[in-house]
Amino acid sequence: MLEQGRSKPVLGICLGMQLLLEQGTEVRPCQGLGVIRGVCDRIPTQLKLPHIGWNGLRFPNPSPLFAGIDEGACVYFVHSFSAQNCAPEQVVAVTDHGCDIVAAVNSGNFFGCQFHPEKSGEVGLQILKNFGAMNK
């Protein structure tokens, strides 16, 4: 694992965020990178999967990734699996699809977005700008 404060920030998007977790179960149990506590598992919802579309974000913990982004801002998701059983302090954004879904995580210089900022219009562009500013 990269040491906090000594390396450039890393951003995992969608599957990239899921790889930051301790384990994934999409095909079979597989070890993840273990940067973020938790497991990637099928979304426990009665709603249709995959979860495709725009959803609003809530921010349980502050993160520089979301500077200038208002609570409720919408971003674009395409997924059937999500981070579960994460350390609460590592969860920086959540959304709803019949249950709470971890939308973004942060631990030290590692950041992950389950949604696609590159497909999320002006909100996504601001998130990517925020990440870029951390790399200066």
pTM summary value? 0.93
Look at the chain and report how many structural domains it folds into: 1
Instruction: Determine which of 21-25, 26-30, 62-66, 129-133 has the lowest per-residue pLDDT on average.
Output: 26-30
**pLDDT computed for residue 135 by the predictor:** 87
Give which of 85, 114, 133 is closest to 12, Cα–Cα: 114
Mean pLDDT calculated for residue range 104-130:
97
27: in domain: yes
42: in domain: yes
1: in domain: no
In tens, the pLDDT along 43-95 reads 999 999 999 999 999 999 999 999 999 999 999 999 999 999 999 999 999 99
Mean pLDDT calculated for residue range 8-21:
96
**pLDDT computed for residue 6 by the predictor:** 60
2: in domain: no
8 A C-beta contact, residue 40 and residue 16? no
Q: Sorting pLDDT into bands at 50, 70 and 90, what band is 7?
A: confident
Residue 84: give the domain boundaries.
10-134
Q: Active-site positions?
A: 14, 116, 118
Q: Residue 21: pLDDT above 80?
A: yes
Domain at 44, CATH number:
3.40.50.880
Mean pLDDT calculated for residue range 9-36:
95
Q: Residue 15: pLDDT above 80?
A: yes
Q: How far is CA 69 from CA 65, 124, 127, 130, in A?
A: 9, 9, 8, 10
